[in-house]
Amino acid sequence: MKPDSMKSALLTPHAVTSDRRPHQPDIDHLLPYTPGESLQTFSQRTGIPANNVIKLNANESPYGPVPSALQMLRDHAWYNQYPDVQAQSLTEAISRYTGLEGAHIVLGHGSMEVIRLLWSLFLSPGDEIITCSPTFSLYTSATRERKAYLRNIPRRADYSIDLAAVLAELTPAARMIVLCSPNNPTGNPLPEDDLLTLLKTGLIVVVDEAYVEFSSHPTGYAHLVPHYQNLVVMRTFSKWAGLAGLRVGYGLFPQWIVSAARQAQYPFAVNVAGHLAATATLNHLDEARERVQWIIEERERLSHVLAGYPFLNPIPSEGNFILARIDHQQVSLCQFQSTMEKHGLLLRYFPLLDGRHDYVRVTVGLPEHTTRLAEAIEQIRVTV
Ligand SMILES: *Cc1c(COP(=O)(O)O)cnc(C)c1O
pLDDT, one tens digit per residue, over 49-94 is 999 999 999 999 999 999 999 999 999 999 999 999 999 999 999 9
Among the ranges given (15-19, 124-128, 306-310), the one the predictor scored with the smallest mean pLDDT: 15-19
Q: Whose CA is nearest to atom 1 of ligand 1?
A: 210
Query: For a substitution probing ligand 1, which of 60, 94, 213, 238 has the most ligand atoms within 8 Å of its CB?
Result: 238
> What span, in angstroms and rounded, lies between the C-alpha atoms of 293 and 352?
32
**Residue located nearest, by CA, to atom 14 of ligand 1:** 210
Residues with CB under 6 A from ligand 1: 59, 110-112, 136, 180, 184, 208, 210, 236, 238-239, 244, 249
CA distances 27 to 6, 23, 30, 166, 249, Å, are 37, 12, 6, 30, 27
Residue range 103-121: average pLDDT? 97
pLDDT in tens, 358-372: 999 999 999 999 999
Say whether pLDDT at 258 is over 50. yes
Domains annotated for the chain, with CATH where assigned, are: 39-62+287-381 (3.90.1150.10), 67-283 (3.40.640.10)
Ligand 1, atom 2: nearest CA belongs to which residue?
210
- Please tell me the residue having the least CA distance from ligand 1 atom 11: 210
Query: Cα of 18 to ligand 1 centre, how many Å?
Result: 42
User: How far, in Å, is the centroid of ligand 1 from the Cα of 75?
Assistant: 28
Whole-number Å distance, alpha carbon 34 to ligand 1 midpoint, is: 13
**pLDDT beyond 80 at 215:** yes
**First CA to last CA distance, the chain:** 80
Q: In this predicted structure, what is the pLDDT of residue 1? A: 46
The CA distance from 98 to 195, in Å, is 19
**Confidence at residue 25, expressed as pLDDT on a 0 to 100 scale:** 82
Which pLDDT belongs to residue 367? Answer: 98
What percentage of residues in the chain have a pLDDT greater than 90? Answer: 89
For the entire predicted model, the pTM comes to 0.93
Among 110, 128, 60, CA closest to 366: 60
- Residues 189-214 have a mean pLDDT of 98
| Protein residue whose Cα sits closest to atom 4 of ligand 1 | 111
Q: How many residues does the chain have?
A: 384
Contacts of residue 192, Cβ cutoff 8 Å, sequence gap at least 6:
221
- 3-state SS track over the chain: CCHHHHHHHHCCHHHCCCCCCCCCCCCCCCCCCCCCCCHHHHHHHHCCCHHHCEECCCCCCCCCCCHHHHHHHHHCCCCCCCCCCCCHHHHHHHHHHHCCCHHHEEEECCHHHHHHHHHHHHCCCCCEEEEEECCCCHHHHHHHHCCCEEEEEECCCCCCCCHHHHHHCCCCCEEEEEEECCCCCCCCCCCHHHHHHHHCCCCEEEEECCCHHHCCCCCCCHHHHHHCCCEEEEEECCCCCCCHHHCCEEEECCHHHHHHHHHHCCCCCCCHHHHHHHHHHHHCHHHHHHHHHHHHHHHHHHHHHHHCCCCEEECCCCCCEEEEEECCCCCCHHHHHHHHHHCCEECEEEEEECCEEEEEEEECCCHHHHHHHHHHHHCCCCCC
How far is it, in rounded angstroms, from Cα 261 to Cα 120?
10
pLDDT single digits (tens) 218-243:
999 999 999 999 999 999 999 999 99
Of 131, 179, 236, the residue with max ligand 1 atoms within 8 A of its CB, to mutate for a pocket test, comes to 236
Contact 364, 299 (CB under 8 A): yes
Calculate how far, in angstroms, residue 278's C-alpha sits from the geometric centre of ligand 1.
Answer: 15
Q: Residue 9: is its pLDDT beyond 70?
A: no
Buried-exposed string 35-71: b where 16+ CB fall within 10 A, e elsewhere: ebbeeeebbeeeebeeeebbbbbbbbbbbebbebbee
**Rounded distance from Cα 239 to ligand 1 centre (Å):** 8
Atom of ligand 1 lying closest to residue 114 CA: 7
Q: Is the pLDDT reported for residue 189 higher than 90?
A: yes
Provide mean pLDDT across the span 160-168: 98
CA distance 227 to 318: 26
Q: Which residue has the higher pLDDT, 251 or 36?
A: 251
Q: Tell me the mean pLDDT in the region 116-140.
A: 97
What is the CA(236)–ligand 1 centre distance, in A? Answer: 7
- The answer on pLDDT for 8 being more than 80 is no
The mean per-residue pLDDT over the stretch 146-165 comes to 97
Query: Where is mean pLDDT largest: 17-26, 29-38, 251-260?
Result: 251-260
Q: Ligand 1: distance of its center to the CA of 8 in Å? A: 50
Which residue, 127, 140, 135, is CA-closest to 170? 127
Which stretch of 28-42, 126-140, 251-265, 294-308 has the lowest confidence by average pLDDT?
28-42
Mean pLDDT, the chain, integer: 94
Atom number of ligand 1 nearest to Cα 239: 1
Looking at residue 19, its pLDDT comes to 79
Count CB atoms within 10 A of the CB of residue 277: 25
pLDDT at 27: 87
